[in-house]
Every structure is written in structure tokens, then in C-alpha cells.
Structure 1
């Protein structure tokens, strides 16, 4: 039985119990019954276990409740003699017969045995919990989302409230792209995180944690918040697994599987996946080039067609050893490999000032890419005698190689010359992560935490450009990026009645080296910073609560942002990184409120972010020309200050058992203050004023309907509102997805069909206006509409069975060490 159904049943049960008590003619003094429920083998707490009190003289449930995240319960009952039932799905029932309860009593710890016989039972399908609200995070379970069957992690993220993924794969949270993406609580070891998210199959994901305002426990990176992607690791007793096969159009097919075997002494698990994907895309840019008096110099209309193909393998093997009743040691080996081909056809039509056709230039970019990633991760967890008293030690060691080569063939109708440009971009990254966390409960309602984290990485980018066989020194360089970040943190949490508070302080020491080896340009940045955080929550009632929080964050520039040589697909529109970028710092305040009704849950947040040294992309003339057309350079810069304010709300509504609705709306205002000063190719000082105030919004609605014959139908629609910036604006965009599924083979199998981007409308549309330089309009579609068909088969596993995964105190993985408010 999935968590959401258990929760709803428990709430309905409690509601009935309250009515029964309210109908009594005179009030009766109640007593308090407490205790704890755990899993017998692993000794881990069982959340959402049900405790039922039955009066022996009147066999009717008079009281009951459910356990919290620590497996604890605290229930008020009328004095009397009771039969007590303690239950959890797929576990054997535990009963206490004829228990006389006359005063406050603690029943101690109840250990439940898994019932292996239940694993093969067929159960009625119901949805998993959509969202779990905690003191400093929201957790979205994605296992039953039909939209992402046969898709990737990027598709999953783009279906989660508050999160959006643009056409280039960049992830944003509440409209802010300054987001840190974690996988299993650790920074992704991928060189290109956007590309890596497109390689991992969606079926490998168990849940996503959305942390809009992280506490001091978490890495300070990410001014807009954190996204923690938790991969599946089977935890059910015995041998069980899931296999998925998918195919689609444009050509798209894959296979993946999750398999695990669990015994008293160990848990062995693996997740394997292979996919072949075709992702055709396109782009167009129409540009008016201007003279200094804003008169039109000439026109260039540029169209691109992309044919992308990739073959990827993603797999992991892991074993969790139960060394004793309180100690476990987990080791995981991950391997990811991908080969891709991308043919980028660029067609440029040139017109004179009177828009009379002049000539056409064709640039064909044939790109070949190979990526290989290896990672070993280990975790040691020690649970002490006192509940919640834990020590965890984690390590992660990885190596990643990306090799990319491209041949650009350049021809034009006004000349017989054929130009050849060849680019080579080889990147190698090594990353080592060490972490230790300690949690000490100090008494009822209070908890102390402390920890250390060391993150050490080295990225070498070897970029080379050849023009007709001759190396171009202006676009050839080896960039070496070294990052050493040592951090310590401490937190203290306390709960008094309905009020909870969590205070934290994190210190990070950063040592950054950015070395351009070809030009002997060496740059070292050393800085250390404190990152405080504070969270306050008040439980207004059992169905509503309010919170306010504060944290300080950092955004360090990396990769493409600092690499001055990154792309030469277009010879007139060139992106160049800025190796002198400084980190940006954000102060964030978040005010939240949640309210639950029988069929409706409402969650809202008001937030304010102030960022110093915010990144902004600026376009300028380079001083070079191609047949009289100026080459425009786009580079990131540090601006003085950025203020972001906004509010969002999420609604979960179930008007009927067969219909579920989920809606998310976010509105934000972004104010930028700052000037960009540079010296142009004529040695003139140019000042660009980036003072700008813009508002924008986006909304998403998802509908799940159970049709006749138990066919599930899911639809979602997203609209991203227009947004102005200092050099132009982005236009609004609407997109929709559609999916159907049907259980077969006595519910052991599921057949799913989905359409991604039903109207083929998911694009990034931009207008750019630079007085005295250019006016342009562009549309970019990274992936065109796709159709997917998938088949899922499960053995020894219920369809939506809640996996009894042991709680961990890993810093950003699982719920251990979480101070519950």
C-alpha cells in the first residue's frame, strides 16, 4: 500500500475516532500511550505504521494513530482494557491482547517481521504520496508519474512543482537558475550536468528532494536552492525487481532494470539501463545589424537544424552490509558511458540594407562526442543506543572523461572557396569527496548536529581550433580548474509544544585555481565565508503550519562560464566564458504556510533573495568582421546587485477518487542594478547600464484520471510567462504532455504511452536589442515532439509498494539527522 493511501486512511480513521469521542455525552479524562515501531532485521524505524486500540467490550476502533519519521507514536485514549494492533504494509501483524490502560504508559519498542508471502499478492493500484513536507525540504515521489516513462532525469525534473528545465537542459527552481543539483546527496561528478541529466533514465529515480532554502547542514552552493535526486536502491526482503523496455519516435528505445536481494546480513542491489535516443532540434535567428546612428547596415537570417543521436549505458552495483544490529556499511560502484553524434547545419542568408538578397553561407558542423564516468561511493553508519544518536562517514571518488571533436565545413554562394574548421574539446575531471556527520539528541525535543565536508576536484579542458589545417591561437587553449573546499557546520534544533526552531552555522574555506596554460595566465582565488541559517515553524493545528527561514548561499562560476574558448558553431555569434568571474553570494528569506483539508492541500511560500555579484550575460562587438558583418561576443559578467522577490503556491486536489489535480503557480520580480564597462575595438570606453526591473510567472497543472477498464490518463500543461532583461526579453511559451497506462498480466505488468510536447511548441524565444549594434529575434527548440511506448514488468514486488529503505544520516541523502518540527 503506497504512503499516500496509508496516510489518507489513517487520517480518515482519526477523523472517525474524533467524531466518536465527540458524540459521548460527557467528557472523559484521557491518558497518553506512547511507543515506537521498528523493522526487526535492520532495526530501522517504520514511518506510517498504524496503531489501533479496540475496546474488548465493544469491538469498535475507538482510538488510533500513525508513527512519525522516527517510528514513534503518541496517542490519547480513554482509560480501559484494549486489544492493541500494530500494523504496517507487507509486515506481520503484532497484537497486544487485553492490555489494561489506566494512566500514561509507554509500550516500548515493537519490532515487526516482514511477511514474505504478501510480496506476491496483487493489490489495487493507488498513488504514492505526492509530497512530504519537512522543516527544510519537500520530497516528491516520482515512481508513478506516467509522463516520464522511457524518459530521462531532465523529464522528471520538468514535471515537479517549482522546478523547470529549459530547452537547453538548464534547471531552474522558482525561476532561478542558480540551483545546485545533487545525486544521492552528493554533487554530480559530471562535467556537463545538463547533459548528464539527459543520460540517466527516469526509471532509475525514486524521489526528488526540493530544498528551496537549505540549512547549514547542506553544501552552501546554489543561491536558488538545492535539488537532490535519490536513485532507486531496492530494500525489500528476498529477491525482487523491475524491468522496463521502451521505444519511441523519433527513433528512441531503451531497456532498464532494478534488481535486489535482501537477507538478514546484507542487501545486494543493482540498477542497469541502456538507451538509444534521437533528438532532432532546430534554431533560427533573424538579425538587423545597425550603424552607430541606428540605421540598418545589413540583415542576416540564420537557421540551424540539429540531428542528435546518442547511445548511453548507466549502471550501478551495490552491497549494504549489516555488520551488527546498529552498524551498516554500504559500497556502491557506478559506471556511465555515452557516445553521441550531432550534425549541426547552419544556413545564413545575407541581405543588404534594403533587404535585397546578397548570398548564402552554409556551415555544417559534424560533432562526435564520447563520455565515460566511473565512481565509487561508500557509507558507514553507526546507530548508538539512544534513539537518533548517529555517526555517518561518507566517501565518493570519481573520474570523468568527455571527448568532443567537430569538423565545420564552410561554403558560400558568392565564392568557390571551401573553408574547414576543426575543433577538439577534451575534458577530464577528477573529484573526491569526504564527509562525516554526527547527530546527538540532547533530550526530548532538542538535537545537536555537527559535521565536516571536503570537496576536491580538478577539471582540465583542452580546446583547439584549426582553420584549414592551421591552429588558430585565438581559440586554442588548455584550461585547468582546481577547486578545494573544506567545510564544517553545526546545528541545534529544539521543539517546544507547537513551536520548532533550527539554528545552524557553516564555514567554508575555498581555494580556486584557474590556469590558462597556453597563455601562461594563472589566477588563484582564495576566500572563506560563514553561512548562517535559521528556521522557525509553528503548528497552528494538526492540519496547518507556518514557517519562516533564512540562509546565506554561494554560487561559484565553473565550466562553460569561465572557459574563454567554448564554441565556434556560428562564426558571427560566439559565446566566450570569463575566467575572472567572482562568486556570487545570496541572502534568502522564505515565509511558508501549509493547510490541509479532506480533499485539498494548499502550500504557499513568499520569498526574498538578494544576490551580490550576480552573473549576467552581456553581448558586445568583438571588432572582427566576416564579410562586413560584425562578430558578436556573448560573455558572463559580475553585476553589482540582484533582488528577487516572489511567491508561489501548490494545490493538490482530489475532487473524486478517480480524479486528482495538482497545480503550481510562481510569480517573481527581478531587479538588477549595475553597469558593465569595457573598452571596445576602437579603444573607446563603453558603459552598458544593466539597471532593469522585470516580472514574470510560470504555472503548471497536472491532471490524473482513472478511465473505464482501469486505464490511467495523465495530462500536464506548462506556461512560462514573458520576461524582460537589460538587453531584450524572452517571450511567453506554452507546452503540454499527455500519457496513458494500463495494468496487464494480473497487475504484474504495465503498458504506458506518452507524448512529450504535444503541440511541438516548447521553445526558447528571445528578442535582443543593442542600440547602435543590432536587433535580433531567435527561436530555439532543443528537442522536437516525441512519442514513447514502454512496458514494465515486476516480480516479487507490489506495484506501488513502499520500499522500506533504512533512514540514514547522510548529510544530503535520506531523512536521517533531520530535526522534525
Structure 2
């Protein structure tokens, strides 16, 4: 009832705003395209409308990636002024109004040589741009991003949520495909958890594709998140240096350099630091039949040193051909200490046994990525091009965990154990894309992609018995994983001034083989599937657009979904994989409306997802040991609404909000258990940005996610707040930032697994993080914040 009332009120507000704007018949619409002298579009150029009487701005906008802009005004006596740092301002006073419209055409800005050696380019705030089949989140210098990693930047993106354990979900669904620069990467894989080595200052924009076209991988039932890394092409030497320090133990330094000549563009980024991730946790496992329980409580801290470097060059063979070679290396040296206290309580509420379990884990994690890319442009059209890329990534982990159990109550003997991990993953992606526009309205895209994924995980658990280390064969094995995916696609699009449609078809063939070497257990799967997609958009007015889309998606079980041997940190809470998992398939539908008005914008959407062979973690309980293993459990049909809004309350206060609600119906059977139930969940984010005197800026972000049902229990609600303050000096060249993440230390992960024979509760928290950052830009480089933090 409350949700229906909420939706009704939103709809009334939405209609009211649209009606108010629709009545402005006397408004004049001004459009144009801002370019450099060589015809290259200028993104983020500022366009203002000012009155001739007062010479004061009355409205304004920034250009998109094509240099385009659109403004409306009801003022009769005005002029237009266009500006961008490093270029001379251009004032336009002579224009012709036809049918309440002014088309300024191409506006050419010339470089201001007097500023080139001293100006910087700094995107003040992040903003979301809506495209035909995706939303683009341009990463600005948001204050709460100081000392932030890619995971924390993602947590600021509309529709995306990153929980306390670093798991990424899109519209409440965890089946997300993460890409780097449009391609799969070990740097974005769950196996390496390496998104923490991608830092805020490295990211240009993030594409959120909830209903991807056939051009993109079919992987990811809830959609695709594509992280685009920065690569400057500004002439001359440009760069920035950043320094961060904070608590708990968060210190880093970063350097970004770019050199552009006539033929070459050399780019590099370098970072080094050390950081600590503390965590407190507790859990209770209740045996309902025996009326006994096992309680645990403890704390841990992961100490990490990291090094990160990106090197690359673009070679402009001529105006139509560019060759790019780049490499990315990251290294993490980890040391983690943990102390857990266990208590076994009988049916009389008496503690019969208690012991401490201490852990010392050390690990080294090298990560490599290297890419060769060739792009050919054609003279007949700026969007007519051919792109080929060959990408290689590798990740290794050499990890040792020592466990020492010391009994404090009872007769359980003391115990020494150790777990050894030797992990190696190599992934190769070959991609070919061809785009051919026909005239101004039709576009054909076609291409192919081949991905080779080769993994070996040697996991061994040993017990110290009679002064000898004995291999525990129940938890030791070598797991080999080999998956090849071949995809070919074609799309065709028609896009006129008001209406556009894009349809496509993708074919993917998957060949998966797994093997447990010690026991010679093999499993193989081969399947070929078609993935259609269709998207359409209609521009009702210059300020109101409608979009609709459909796509079919797949979620292939990941390595850790399949690997039976990978976790032995807690003897009484074991996670394991399932080599017999089948992939999930999802049909995704959505309708979205986008409304722009003078003070901001509003995006409202309705979506539906129908998923079969849903993969869920199923927990079983035996001898006080909880074992969690993924299984294919039935179907899930979910319907939701989404609202994103931005409102400029005054010239010094800007508010943005993101609201998502979805209800779902689960149907499934696992062994003799039925998992039929209905549920719902919602999340919301509100950000306020305040421009203060003396060039201070304050930014606050509040996040809330409701509780929701799972197949075996419930996950509790979650609320937390981030805060940032910035002071600009030296005309913006020098920035000093203070960032506080989880201001009230309220971000917790709490869950309940409630079954007939057992009840398990768990609670974990990382606490507050405070970071002070200083950044300095030189040449035409940006003053940015380099990350000193990875993930919670």
C-alpha cells in the first residue's frame, strides 16, 4: 500500500513538472556544437545565456561528448557565451530566431596561448548522460571520491550498489558483467578482487548498460558495467601528482603523466601506498534439534602494500589510422592477522568448550594486463571505423594461511593447521568491431569476439599431527578451469531527429571444462545460444524522451561458483563450489522516460526480469558445521521501478537522488525443500553539494538499502553516510580534500539463515575511514584525488 502511494505521488510530481514545462510556449530553444579549430568536438564546454541589460547569466549547460548542447530561455534580450579552459571565450550576439528556435551550428573555439602553460581542466562533479542503450556516468572530482577506489566510485553510480564485502549488484541483482575499456579483464574479476587497484583518478567514465544491445557480451543477467580509464590526448606535457593520508593506516602517492606530439601520445599513471582494512564480525549457529549453539566473535586487519603502473602509447600513423600499445601492472603484498573466539553452548546455556583461533595470512598478488589495438577511420563518415584489439591478462596468488587453535575451556586438543594456495589465471580476448553508417540515419555494426580463460588453483590444507604436517585430503585438490567463448554479432540502427530503433542478434558458443586433478573428476559443458536485442527511443519534445528495450542475457558460473576447494578460514563455516552448475538465462525488459528542465532532470523507468536456473548459495548444517554451496534453484520473476533525479535548488546547492524498488516472485525446489516465496527490496541515495565561501565545497551522500528475503532467510537493512570537503587554491591548480566514508560507522552486513534444523546469524563491520588528500595539476593536467583505499 505504501509503495503504491509512493509511486502515485512520484507520478503526480512527474506529470506536474512535465505539464509546467509544456506550458512554456514562449520559450526559445538554442542549440549548437562546440569544436576546436581542427573540428574535434569539445566536451564539457560551458555555454551560458545572459541578459544584455544586466550582463548576468540566467541559465547554462555543458556540452556532451559530441560537443553538442541545448538550452531554453523565455528572455527576449540576451546573448550566448561559450567558454572552455585553455580556449578563448566566444560571445555570440547576432543570431536568427525561427519558430522559437536558434541553431548556432558549429561554434569554433581557438586556443588561448597565454593560458596553455598554466590552466587545468577539472570536472567539478559527476553527471549521468543517457544514451539509446546505456547510461554514462562521467566521473568528476566528487569530494567523497578522495582516496577512493573503483568499488567506491561504483557505489556513487545510479542503480549500482557495492556491499560491505565488495560484491557488486545492479538494480539489486548480483549477475553483473564488469568490463574494462569495453573488454573482459582479470583486473575486474572476482577471483583477483583487483578493482581496488583501479583508483578514482584513473577513471574517465562508467557506462551502466541495464539492457545491452547485441554488440556487447551476453554475460551478466542484470547488465554490464563498463569502466573507461582515462587517456589524455592534450598537446604538450600534462599531468598531476597526488598525496593521500588517512586513518586507519591509509597512505599513498600517485603520479599521472601524458605527453602528446604530432605522431605519438604517451600516457602513464603510477601509484604506491599502504593501507589497512579492519573488520569486526560475530556469528551464531543454533542447532534446533539438540538446542545447542556455536558462537563466534573476533576482529581482523588486512595490511596491504600496493604498487600500480599503467604505460601506453598511441601511434598516429596518419589521420585515419591509430595503433595503441598499453600495459597495466599491479602488485599487492598482503599480511592479515585475525583472532576469533569460539564458544560451544549446550542446551542448559552452559559453555562447555571455548577456544581462540588465530590466523596469520601472507600473500603476494601480481596482476598484468597488456593490449594491442588498431583503429582505422574512413573518410566518408566520422563514425565509419574498424577496430581490432588483442588483450592479455594474468593474475597470480601465492598465499599461506597459518591457523592456531588454543583451548580455554573444555578438553578439545590444541591444533595447528595451514592452508596453501597457488593460483594462476590467464585470459586472452580477441575482438573485432566494424561500424558503417549509411547516410545520417542508418548504422550497421558487426563483429566478433573470442575469449580464452585458463585457470589453475592448487589448494592444500595440512594438519600438524605428532609433529608432522599431514595433508587433509578432504579439503585439498588441484582445480583446473578452462572456458572458451566465441561470439559474433550484428546490429542495425535507424535514428532520426525524433525517433530511433536499434535491433541486433548475437550468437555465443561456450566450451567449458573443469577437472579435479587429484581425484581425476572431470566435467564439461558445451552450449550455443542466440541473444536478440531491440531498443527504441522517441523524443516527445526537446526536454522529454522515452526509451524502451529488450535483451536476452546469460550468467555463466564463475570459477569460485564451480571450484569445490577454496575456503577453509573457519572450520565451522565452509564455502565451497559446485562443478555441476548450469548457467542462468534472463529475459530483460524496460521502459524509461527522461525529462530535462531548467533546474535539473528526472529519469523514471519500469523494468522486468525473468530468470530461469537461478544460482543461489544453499546452506546445509551437520555436526555444527554450516556448509554453503551454490545450486540452480528454480526461477525468479522481478518487476521494479527506478527514479533518478537532479535538482539545482539554488546556484550554490545541488541535490541528486537515486531510488530503486523491485518486487520478486521466487519458485524453486532443492532436494526435498520448496523455495517458493514473494519478496521486495528498495534502495535510495541522496547527495547534496554545497558551494561555500572562500572556495570551499561541501558534499554529503546518504545511502539506504532495505532488508530483503533470501531463499533461506533474510538480509538486514543498511544505512550509511559519506562526507567530503574541498578547498581550492592557486586558481584550482591545488586542491585539498577531506573525505569521511561511513561517517557514523553504521555500515554493517547482517544476515539470517533460518531453516527447520538450524538458525545462523552473522554480522560484520569495517568502520569509519578518514582521508586527507592533496592534488596538484601541471601543464593542462587535472588536479585529482589518488586512491589510498581499496574496498571494505
Normalised by the shorter chain, which TM-score bucket?
A: 0.7 to 0.9
Aligned to 2:775: 792
**Unmatched segments (≥5 aa) in structure 1:** 1-14, 23-32, 77-82, 678-686, 802-821
Structure 2 residue aligned with 1:132, among 129, 139, 152?
A: 129
Mean CA deviation greater in 719-728 or 485-494: 719-728
1:688 to 660, 664, 673: 673
Map Cα deviations across residues 407-443 of structure 1 (whole Å, 9 max, x no partner): 1112223237321111111110111111111111112
Match of 2:142 in 1: 145
Do the aligned partners of 1:345 and 1:363 also contact (CA within 8 Å) in 2?
yes
**Structure 2 match to 1:185:** 182
> Which residues of 2 match residues 92-131 of structure 1 at below 5 A?
114-120=111-117, 127-128=124-125, 130-131=127-128
Aligned 8 A contact 1:674 1:691 in 2: yes
In structure 2, do the counterparts of structure 1 residues 283 and 99 end up closer, same or farther at CA, with 3 Å as the change threshold? closer
The equivalent residue for 1:389 is: 384
SS of aligned partner of 2:540? strand
8 Å CA contact retained: 1:531, 1:551: yes
How has the CA–CA distance of structure 1 residues 412 and 200 changed in structure 2, closer, same or farther, with 3 Å as cutoff?
Answer: same
CA separation in 2, counterparts of 1:53 and 1:774? 67
Structure 2 distance, partners of 1:548, 1:237, is 41
How far the C-alpha of 1:252 sits from its partner, in A, is: 0.9
Find the counterpart in structure 2 of residue 158 from structure 1: 155
Contact 2:95 / 2:104 at 8 angstroms: preserved in 1? no
1:71-93 alpha-carbon deviations (Å, 9 max, x no partner): 579999xxxxxx99987653457
**CA deviations over 1:125-178 (Å, ceiling 9, x no partner):** 873451111111111122211112112111111122211111111001111111
* Aligned twin of 2:315: 321
Secondary structure of the residue aligned to 1:186 is: coil
SS at match of 1:541: coil
Deviations 1:459-489 (A, max 9, x none): 1111111111110111111111111111111
SS at match of 1:156: helix
- Equivalent positions of 1:444-523 (< 5 A) are 444-468=440-464, 469-523=469-523
Contact 1:127 1:800 in 2 (8 A): no
Match of 1:346 in 2: 340
Q: What TM-score do you get using the length of structure 2 for normalisation?
A: 0.88
Match among 755, 766, 786 for residue 770 of structure 1: 755
The alignment yields a C-alpha RMSD, in angstroms, of 3.5
Structure 2 gaps of 5+ residues are 1-21, 73-78, 785-792
- Residue 198 of structure 1 deviates from its aligned partner by 2.0
2: CA distance, partners of 1:605 / 1:99: 38
| 530-539 or 720-729: bigger deviation | 720-729
User: 2 CA distance for matches of 1:60 and 1:600?
Assistant: 20
Counterpart CA distance in 2 for 1:39 and 1:326 is 18
| Mapped contact 1:167–1:762 kept (Cα < 8 A) | yes
Equivalent of 1:204 in 202, 205, 208 = 202
Residue in structure 2 matched with residue 668 of structure 1 by the alignment: 662
1:311 Cα deviation (Å)? 0.7
Instruction: Give the Cα–Cα distance (whole angstroms) in 2 for the partners of residues 321 and 372 of structure 1.
Output: 28
> Deviation at 1:110?
8.2
Task: Provide the rounded CA distance (Å) in 2 between the counterparts of 1:567 and 1:173.
Answer: 26
Identify if the C-alpha distance between structure 1 residues 483 and 44 changes in structure 2 by more than 3 Å, giving closer, same or farther: farther
Match 2:764 to one of 769, 780, 784: 780
Are 1:590 and 2:590 counterparts? yes
Q: Alpha-carbon deviation of 1:745?
A: 3.3
Task: Determine the C-alpha separation between the residues in 2 that align with 1:416 and 1:756.
Answer: 42
Residue 807 (structure 1) aligns with: none
Post-superposition Cα deviations, 1:563-617, rounded to whole Å, max 9, x if no partner, equal 1111111111111111111111111001101111111211111110011111111
Distance 1:645 1:194, change over 3 A: farther
Partner of 1:28: none
Q: Kindly provide the CA deviation profile for residues 381-430 of structure 1, in whole angstroms up to 9, marking residues without a partner as x.
A: 11101122111111111221112110111222323732111111111011
Residue in structure 1 matched with residue 683 of structure 2 by the alignment = 698
Contact 2:686/2:701, CA 8 A, preserved across alignment:
yes
1:718 equivalent among 703, 719, 725: 703
1:68 Cα deviation after fit? 6.5
Aligned to 1:167: 164
Q: 1:534 touches 1:549 (CA, 8 Å); kept in 2?
A: yes
Q: Which residue of 1 aligns with 2:602?
A: 602
User: For the Cα contact (< 8 Å) 2:425–2:454, is it kept in 1?
Assistant: yes
1:536-573 per-position Cα deviation (integer Å, ceiling 9, x unaligned): 10101101101110001110111221111111111111
Other structure's SS at 2:115 match: helix
Aligned to 1:467, what secondary structure does the other structure show?
strand
Q: Quick one: structure 1 residues 786 and 474, their matched pair in 2 at CA, closer, same or farther if it must change by over 3 Å?
A: same
User: Residues 143 and 205 of structure 1 are in contact (CA less than 8 Å); yes or no, is this contact kept in structure 2?
Assistant: no
- Of the candidates 706, 713, 716, which is equivalent to residue 731 of structure 1? 716
